[in-house]
Structure 1
Amino acid sequence: MKRIVLLCSLFAVSSMVFSEVEDTTKIMKLKLDEVLVTGIKQEKISKSPLSASYVGKDFINDNEIKSVKELSSYVPNFFMPDYGSKQTSPVYIRGIGSKINAPSIGFYVDDIPHFEKSAFDIDLADVSSIDVLRGPQGTLYGRNAIGGIINIHTLSPLDYQNTRLKVGYGNYNDFESTVSNYTKLNDRLGFSVMGTYHQNDGYFTNMATGSKADDIKNGASRISLVWKPAQRWTLHISSSLDVSNQGGYPYGIYNPDTKEWAGVNYDSYSMYKRTVISSGISAKYEGRHIIFNSQTSHQYIKDHQGIDQDFTPAAVYYVEQRLRQNMLSQEFTLKSKGSGPYHWIGGLFLFTQKAKNSLEMSYLTKNYSTPKYYDIPTKGLAVYHQSTYDISSTLSGSVGVRYDYEHAENTYEAYKHVVNSDIVKTGDSESKMHFSQLTPKFSLQNSFGQNNLVYASVARGYKAGGFNQTFITDDEKSFKPEYNWNYEVGTKWHFLDNKLYAELCLFYIDWRNQQINKTIPGVGNIQQNAGHSDSKGVEFTLQSNPVKGLNIQLNYGYTYARFLEYKKSDTEDYSHKMLPMVPRNTFALNADYSMYKVLNVIDRLTFSGSLVGVGKIYWNEDNAVSQPFYMTLNMKVMATVGRLTCEVWSKNITDTDYISYYFVSGGKFAQKGKPFTIGTSIIFNI
């Protein structure tokens, strides 16, 4: 309580010491206007026949959202559990997701694809908007888009110019700083530079070592150049670097019957180190009748995980895993432009990915380890096309199809290393796999006025198979592709002179050969295929601007996802059980209110609050343990005087006690959710 009073006092003093200045609404803007970024592949999502959410810069700032994980529940039926480390970043949309190996959700930053989910948990500094597209997006996006797409757009120096300094501090010794510059040299040339650093001592203490288990240090930078060499051409060059060094995996023994958590208590420090470099060059030509876009992307990932696999004070198991990935992709798209009844888009996508993994399990009580090495190069190509025809002035239909081909190889070597002895080779193999698939999509929409519509769509989703990094039998070396059909109907409406917006969608997903994670104590995680599953639910969004300065938004999602047929073994039949890691409900109620020229001193004063809920969540296929529905309360206050903005924010104000992850591996373990946190920051716009 003393910390809260002190922070609030500092905030109040810093807001009052400045003398009156000109109205900042005339000379500068605290926030960017919510400009919807229209991607090369889709029109404005508010006018497209699909269920999607647009998250703007204002919303990200008002709710102190610093990573994609913190977007959970703010978007209907979007869940990204916050546990483990940055490496453990599974994403679930409508129940579709993947806990290990390749993700089931496409992830793009400025049109640069991220194929590894270990690169999903990135800093959201200076992000202009995020689009979340729900349901299979294979027709236009293809790889790993069986559940949906996340598109992140950063600020462009041609649209936004500013030099900005931000410094923040909170409890748990949480410190962050950001420096950025966006300069427009002329109407055709602009550049930007951004750097950010964040550290936190950690929320959970390891009783065995007496130190924090989940501390983190993370730094990121990004440079960008936008150039228009000619009237119809735009060239965008960008590169980003993200480096993190963190403790992780604050797992402790958990008793599901009594709901008692014993706390973190293991002998070896568990950690995760990651370096991600992403670079892209896009060239766009916008003619009178066509739009052409070329996107060349490269991503390099280097990471190192070390984890006390038994999670006890005894020295039993320790696992080290390393990844080196180089991914190069090229995409060409050609799109019609004009006001005629026929619209189309087509494209070609090529990629090559080289991934080298190593996994070493140390059996500490037996004084030996089992290092394993994997070399998994993957190549793929895809061609796609989508046609839309305006049947009448209000009715239009779309038909799309994509053909994907992938070829993957796996060179595997296994060894046994006894302490003070030679390394003995215990196995090797070379495998090849290839996959091909057609993914069609059909949609029909009817518009009412300029902004209202109803739609229906049917889409095929597909995700390629792959190789497991751990296995016991030859059958477990690889897993098969998975498929689904997504059926949905929805509507989008504007009311009361655009002061009220409502969106409603109903969906049903028929899912075959679902890729499921299997945990084997002392071995690791294995991906295998289940038989038949389905998922059905509803998504609802309501946005209102009832009076000047007040914005209210309600987002709700309901997902009922279950196994229809899944016999794991002769003694394990999970048919008709609920899918694990899928929340039944996601809920978010947000409100922000801004006042101007308060006491003729504060140019702008904004109060923001959000009530966020998620659950019920079953953690395993047997549905034996679950997390009931819970809610957290978050608040933020921002005051701007001249070029200075002061903020005070808090999350989980009620200190809600909940489980963020549960698993069984030689014992029953869980990780607690983050406790009450509070902090303040100062932003100076030069």
Structure 2
Amino acid sequence: MNFKYILLLLFLFTIVSTSIKADNIHEGGDSVIIRYTGKEVVIESFKQNNNLYIQPVAASLLTGKEIKDFNIINIKEITSLAPNLFIPDYGSKMTSPAYIRGIGSHRNAPSVGLYVDGVPYFDRSTFDININDIDRIEVLRGPQGTIYGRNTMGGIINVFTKSPFKYKETNVNLTAGNYNNYQTALSHYGNVNNKVGYALSGNYLHSGGYFKNKTTGKKADPIDAVSTRARLSWRIQPNLLMHLIMSYEYSDQDGYPYRLFHKDTGKIDEVNYNAHSYYRRNMSTNGLNLEYITDQYKLSSQTSFQYYDGKQGLDQDFTPQDLYYVDFYQRQQMYSQEFNIKSLKDDSRYSWQFGLFGFHQNYFQTNDTDNRTANNHTLQTAKNPTGGFAAYHQSAINDIFTEGLSLLVGIRYDWEQTKSTMNRTTPKETEPTVNDKTSFSQVTPKASVEYKFNKDGLAYFSVAKGYKTGGFNNTAEKDEDRIFDPEYSWSYEIGSKAGFLNNLLFFDMSLFYINWENQQISQTKTSGKGFIIKNAGKSVSKGIEVSAQVNPLRNLSFQLAYGYTNAKYKEHKDYNAATGETTVYDDNYLPMVPQNTLSVSGKYTFDINQKWLDNITLNAQYIGAGKLYWTDNNDISQDYYGLFNSMISFAKKDFSIDLWAKNIGGKEYVSYYFSTSSQHYVQKGKPFTCGMNMNLKF
């Protein structure tokens, strides 16, 4: 607990040191943060007031221009671009576990939330989305339960599509690269008298795959994906707006290029299995947002519906032999409704917001395991309908005791009920249907103290409780293992944000300490075959995050994002009933958590101003992560690794050509690891890739 006192002392030190420099920051009454970062438009989402850069929260913002400059295609590629953010590549779109500050989950419900245009994505099978031609991505680090609720212990990833009131254009994008990578994208944004706005976009992606399967002689991981988005915005009255957002995606992927890993020697075999493995996903996401805006407040309603179904076929033995094969099917229907009212006068001494949230989620899955050596099947089906509601409030009181000192407090109450209906048929019998239900409730408070320096910088100290809901183990072998309880965390954080040297430098730093209790941990079943979730752990995660941007010249800029996380178990024991042994993991590092994340990028634009060419832009980027452990034992790990990426763009008015390359030098690393009862498997990271983009805007 001494670390919390250190945080408080650093907070006081930050106030003193920043106040000494404040006179050199302010100029002309404008906000250096907004001018410096080039975000002239105030970023405002459904629940957040003002620009994130002047809020007492650790946050990173990736603009659409930055996403294009980094040649980012999907959500997994934002790893390390925000400090302490890590999204490993599982091998297919079926699951995308996200980790922030060491908080995450790779087997059950996510611990990091994802929202797209205010629509919640509750299941990690929906996380891996195409982010072509979007407006921005916000990454909020630390517990966000007061405003966002369940399953946001680690933080929130907010994705925003382009508004037709802000953009009026048609974009055509063509991409071609090695490994038979192709992408075609088309989008159109328009509005009529700034009253009715409309947007349509479509994207087709094909990848020929990166890794060859020795048995079949074909690539193990090709993918074809089609996605569409539509948006209708209507200014019904001057104070009343409506936004209707619809999206659909279909993907057909031959995933899982897993290789046998020999733990004793470190040798990695080739991809080598016989049965066709794949994952196909249909997903439709829809949202209706209504906003009534006055000079005093904004009243919002967000109605959402998401449907997806996914089917997986998996050669579970990953060998050329016909041993085990699994067919897995999952389907979700998720409905949610949220009402939010918040004050808009940020220059007043008091600001507030209230909200109500409700949801219902239908979830169905089947798991058909084919033991081909014994010629028998085990079929299991499960239904897990879940519903809940929440109420929350947040208040901010400004200029307490002295000008610039503010207090923010918030509280949220969540209640939900979940049910389980499970059927299991083995080669010997059809077991009786198991029905069960349970409910959970939780109060999550938050408080922060903030000190602003002439609107150009701030320092803050915050305390927040995190909460992740409990649930069912549908494959439990004992009644007492069927339900696992919620987990909790208390997070302590200090941070500071400021601009320096007349807009030359913007600097953002935060330190955090997280106490994580009743932790939901994957443990071995009684039979020794498979895993279930148990509340069996207690951990502490602490670290530092630094972001900086430097503009030494008009056409030259540099960006830095660095995060350090020290996340260890304090109490974690795993009893294996099959062997009668108990393994103690106390003081081991948490798996799937890189101790360091690093992103360094630079950009320079040459002004040509010729008839055939306006400018040439050079982008260079370095991304690193590690060291990280893959197991609770800490016996298998991935050392720190770094990847070099680059892009050179040639632009003439609204036409540009980009030449890009990723993983220059072909750095080899392991992107994912898992084990069965007797074998270990890894997936390698993507090799060197290069290609060309052609972009036309009119």
In structure 2, give the amino acid aligned to 1:41. K
Q: Is the 8 A contact 1:317 1:522 kept in 2?
A: no
Contact 1:389 1:396 in 2 (8 A): yes
| Rounded Cα–Cα distance in structure 2 between residues aligned with 1:160 and 1:41 | 22
Measured after TM superposition, the shift of residue 241 of structure 1 is 0.2
Secondary structure of the 1:89 match is coil
Between 1:474-483 and 1:445-454, the stretch displaced more is: 474-483
Residue number among 489, 499, 511 corresponding to 1:506 in the alignment = 511
| Residue matched to 1:286 | 293
Deviations 1:576-595 (A, max 9, x none): 11100000000010111112
Q: Residue 279 of structure 1: CA displacement?
A: 0.3
**Alignment counterpart, residue 168 of structure 2, candidates 136, 161, 164:** 161
Q: Which residue of 1 aligns with 2:261?
A: 254
Is the 1:34–1:56 Cα contact (8 Å) retained in structure 2?
no
What percentage of residue pairs aligned between the two structures are identical?
Answer: 42
SS in 2 for 1:69: helix
Are 1:601 and 2:605 an aligned pair? no
Alignment of 1:530-545 (within 5 A): 530-545=536-551
Conservation of the 8 A alpha-carbon contact between 1:291 and 1:335: yes
Q: Secondary structure at the match of 1:75?
A: coil
Residue 525 of structure 1 deviates from its aligned partner by: 4.1
- Cα–Cα, structure 1 residues 272 and 523, in superposed 2: closer, same or farther, change >3 Å? farther
Deviation, 1:92, is 0.2
Instruction: State TM-score, norm by structure 2.
Output: 0.91
Partner residue, 1:26: none
Q: Which residue of 1 aligns with 2:13?
A: none
- Whether the 8 Å CA contact 1:603–1:641 is kept in 2: the answer is yes
The match for 1:142 is: 149
Give the corresponding residue for 2:391. Answer: 383
Following the alignment from structure 2 to structure 1, what is the Cα–Cα distance between the partners of residues 574 and 644?
40
* Residues 84-128 of structure 1, C-alpha deviations (whole Å, 9 max, x = no match): 211120000000001022111111000000001111100001111
Please state if 1:667 is matched with 2:679: yes
For 2:39 and 2:516, how far apart are their aligned partners in 1?
40
Alignment of 1:18-37 (within 5 A): 35-37=41-43
Distance 2:41 2:211 in 1: 40
Q: Is the 8 A contact 1:92 1:98 kept in 2?
A: yes
Counterparts of 1:340 and 1:645 in 2: how far apart (Å)? 46
Q: 2:417 aligns with which of 407, 410, 413?
A: 407
Equivalent residue number for residue 584 of structure 1: 595
Matched with 2:34 is: none
Contact 1:598 1:605 survives alignment (8 Å):
no
Does 1:115 pair with 2:125? no
User: 1:634/1:106 Cα in 2 relative to 1: closer, same or farther (>3 Å)?
Assistant: same
Please state whether the residue corresponding to 1:462 is helix, strand or coil: strand
Write the letter of the residue equivalent to 2:390.
A
Deviation at 1:549, TM superposition (A): 1.2
Q: Which runs of 5+ in 2 are unaligned?
A: 1-37, 576-580
The CA RMSD measured in Å over matched residues stands at 1.5
Looking at structure 2, the residues matched to 541 and 304 of structure 1 have their Cα atoms a distance apart, in angstroms, of: 40
Give the Cα separation in 2 of the matches to 1:362 and 1:589: 48
**Secondary structure, counterpart of 1:139 in structure 2:** helix
In structure 1, list runs of 5 or more residues that go unmatched.
1-31, 419-423
- 8 Å CA contact 2:521–2:537 kept in 1: the answer is no
CA contact (8 A) 1:656 1:675 kept: yes
Instruction: Kindly state the Cα deviation for residue 530 of structure 1 after the two structures are TM-superposed.
Output: 2.3
The one-letter code sitting in structure 2 at the alignment partner of 1:98 is: S
Residue in 1 that maps onto 2:639: 628
Q: Distance in 1 between matches of 2:303 and 2:65?
A: 30
Distance change >3 Å, CA 515–CA 581, structure 1 → 2: same
CA distance in 2, matches of 1:177, 1:496: 43
Cα 1:54–1:34 shift into 2, 3 Å:
farther
Aligned letter for 2:375? N
SS of structure 1 residue aligned to 2:460: strand
What do the CA deviations read for 1:465-523 (whole angstroms, capped 9, x no partner)? Answer: 01123233323322211000000001001112223100110000000011122466995
| Dislocated runs of 4+, deviation >3 Å | 32-36, 256-259, 518-525
Q: CA deviation at 1:604?
A: 2.3
When residues 349 and 274 of structure 1 are mapped into structure 2, their CA distance, relative to the original with a 3 A threshold, is same
Q: Which residue of 2 aligns with 1:10?
A: none
Deviations 1:261-290 (A, max 9, x none): 101111111110001100000001111211
Give me the whole-angstrom Cα distance separating, in 2, the residues matched to 1:83 and 1:99.
Answer: 9
* CA spacing shift, 1:334–1:663, aligned 2, 3 Å: same
Q: What corresponds to 1:439 in structure 2?
A: 444
In structure 2, do the counterparts of structure 1 residues 308 and 237 end up closer, same or farther at CA, with 3 Å as the change threshold?
same
Counterpart residue number, 2:456: 451
Q: Deviations over 1:223-247 (max 9, x none)?
A: 0001111111111001000110101
TM-score (normalizing by structure 1) = 0.93
- Measure the CA separation in 2 of the matches of 1:347 and 1:218: 37
Pairwise CA distance, 1:545 = 1.1
Shift of the 573–437 alpha-carbon distance from structure 1 to 2, 3 Å rule, reads same
Distance 1:599 1:227 in 2: 42
**Which runs of structure 2 are paired with 1:297-446 in the superposition (5 Å)?**
297-338=304-345, 339-390=347-398, 391=400, 392-417=402-427, 424-446=429-451
SS of match in other structure, 2:43: coil
Aligned partners of 2:475, 2:384: CA distance in 1, in Å? 14
- Distance, in Å, in 1 between the alignment partners of 2:573 and 2:488 is 18
Counterpart of 1:654 (choices 661, 665, 684) is 665
Quick one: distance in 1 between partners of 2:257 and 2:626? 21
Code of the residue aligned with 2:357 in structure 1: it is F
One-letter amino acid of the structure 2 residue matched with residue 619 of structure 1? W
The corresponding residue for 1:20 is none
After the TM superposition, which of the residue ranges 85-94 and 254-263 deviates more from structure 2? Answer: 254-263
Report the more deviating stretch, 603-612 or 128-137: 603-612
Structure 1 distance, partners of 2:167, 2:161, is 11
Distance 1:442 1:466 in 2: 29
- Deviations, residues 577-617 of structure 1 (Å, cap 9, x unaligned): 11000000000101111122355531121110101100001
Report the CA distance between 1:337 and its aligned residue: 2.0
**CA distance change for structure 1 residues 438 and 447 in 2, over 3 Å: closer, same or farther?**
same
